[in-house]
Amino acid sequence: MNEGYLRELDAELSVVGIRGSRRRRILVETADHLRESGDPARFGEPRLIAARFADELATNGARRTALFSFLALAPAGIGYALLVGLNRPGPDITSARTLSVGLAAALVVALAPQISLAAGLLAIALAWRLRAAQVAPAAAISLLHRRVAVALGAGAATLAGVAVYAVEYSRGLPDWWTTLAFAVTATAIVPVAVAAAALGRTARLRAATSGPGGDVFDDLGPLLDRVPLRLRGRPWRFCLLFAAAVAVVAFVGGGLDEGPRNAVAEFAAICFGFAILGRFLGLRR
Amino acid sequence: MRAETLKGHLDFLLLAILSDEPAHGYRIIEELKRRSAGAFDLPEGTVYPALHRLEQSGLLASSWASGSGRRRRVYRLTARGRRGLAGARRDWRGFTRAVEAVVT
Give the ipTM: 0.88
Q: Which residues of chain B make contact with A207, given a CB cutoff of 8 A? A: none
How far does A3 lie from chain B, in Å, by closest CA? 16
Same domain flag for A130 and A254: no
Element counts in chain A: helices (H) and strands (E): 10, 0
Report, in this order, helix, strand and coil percent for chain A, each rounded to 5: 80, 0, 20
Same domain flag for A128 and A145: yes
* A87 inside domain: yes
- For CA atoms A203, A205, A208, A209, give the dihedral sign: negative
How many distinct structural domains can be found in chain A? 3
Same domain flag for A173 and A267: no
Q: Which residues of chain B make contact with A10, given a CB cutoff of 8 A? A: none
* A74 inside domain: yes
* A57 inside domain: no
Domains of chain B and CATH, by start:
3-103 (1.10.10.10)
CB atoms within 10 A of CB A73: 28
Same domain flag for A187 and A221: no
* A88 inside domain: yes
Same domain flag for A146 and A270: no
Confidence of residue B24 (pLDDT cuts 50, 70, 90): very high
Confidence of residue B3 (pLDDT cuts 50, 70, 90): low
Q: Could you tell me how many residues make up chain B? A: 104
Test A64 with B56 for CB contact under 8 angstroms: yes
- For CA atoms A53, A55, A56, A57, give the dihedral sign: positive
Mean pLDDT score of chain A, rounded to an integer?
91
Test A32 with B24 for CB contact under 8 angstroms: yes
pLDDT greater than 60 at residue A102: yes
d(CA A217, CA A282): 9
Average pLDDT over residues A229-241: 84
B80: enclosing H helix or E strand? helix B79-103
Q: Please, which contacts does A216-219 make with residues 24 or more away whose CB atoms are closer than 8 Å?
A: A216/A122, A216/A125, A216/A282, A216/A283, A216/A284, A218/A129, A219/A122, A219/A125, A219/A126, A219/A128, A219/A129, A219/A282
d(CA A221, CA A233): 10
Cis ω for the linkage preceding A260 (within 30 of 0): no
CATH number at residue A122: 1.20.120
Question: Percentage of chain A surpassing pLDDT 70?
Answer: 100
* A225 inside domain: yes
Domain limit, last residue, from A197, A214, A231:
A214
**B14 to A37, A155, B5, B20: CA distances (angstroms):** 19, 40, 15, 11
Using the CB atoms, write b or e for A30-43: b if 16+ within 10 Å.
bbbbbebbeebeeb
Test A33 with B50 for CB contact under 8 angstroms: no
A153: enclosing H helix or E strand? helix A138-168
Same domain flag for A205 and A91: yes
Q: How many CB pairs under 8 A join A and B?
A: 73
Q: To 10 degrees, the CA torsion angle through A18, A22, A26, A31?
A: 110
Cβ-contact B77, B20 below 8 angstroms: no
Same domain flag for A196 and A263: no
Domain with A25, as residue range(s), is 2-44
Domain limit, last residue, from A214, A243, A265:
A214
**B60 to A68, B29, B75, B77, B87: CA distances (angstroms):** 20, 16, 7, 5, 15
Same domain flag for A203 and A105: yes
d(CA A183, CA A200): 26
Same domain flag for A185 and A86: yes
Alpha-carbon Rg of chain B, whole angstroms? 15
Average pLDDT over residues B33-62: 91
* A96 inside domain: yes
* A155 inside domain: yes
Q: Which residues of chain A make contact with B26, given a CB cutoff of 8 A? A: 32-33, 36-37
pTM, to two decimals:
0.86
pLDDT greater than 60 at residue B1: no
Confidence of residue A48 (pLDDT cuts 50, 70, 90): very high
Test B43 with A48 for CB contact under 8 angstroms: yes
Average pLDDT over residues B31-58: 90
Q: Which residues of chain B make contact with A52, given a CB cutoff of 8 A? A: 45-46, 49
Nearest chain A residue to B45 by CA distance is: A43
pLDDT greater than 80 at residue A226: no
Please tell me if residue B57 touches chain A, with a CB cutoff of 8 Å: yes
Same domain flag for A95 and A198: yes
Domain limit, last residue, from A167, A186, A214:
A214
d(CA A27, CA A19): 11
- A37, A48, A57 ranked by CB distance to B53: nearest: A57
Please tell me if residue B3 touches chain A, with a CB cutoff of 8 Å: no
Same domain flag for A80 and A203: yes
d(CA A277, CA A111): 13
Same domain flag for A111 and A239: no
Residue of B52, B68, B75 to mutate, testing the A interface (most A Cβ within 10 Å of its Cβ):
B52
Candidate from A88-92, B37-41, B52-56, B84-88 with smallest mean pLDDT: A88-92
* A124 inside domain: yes
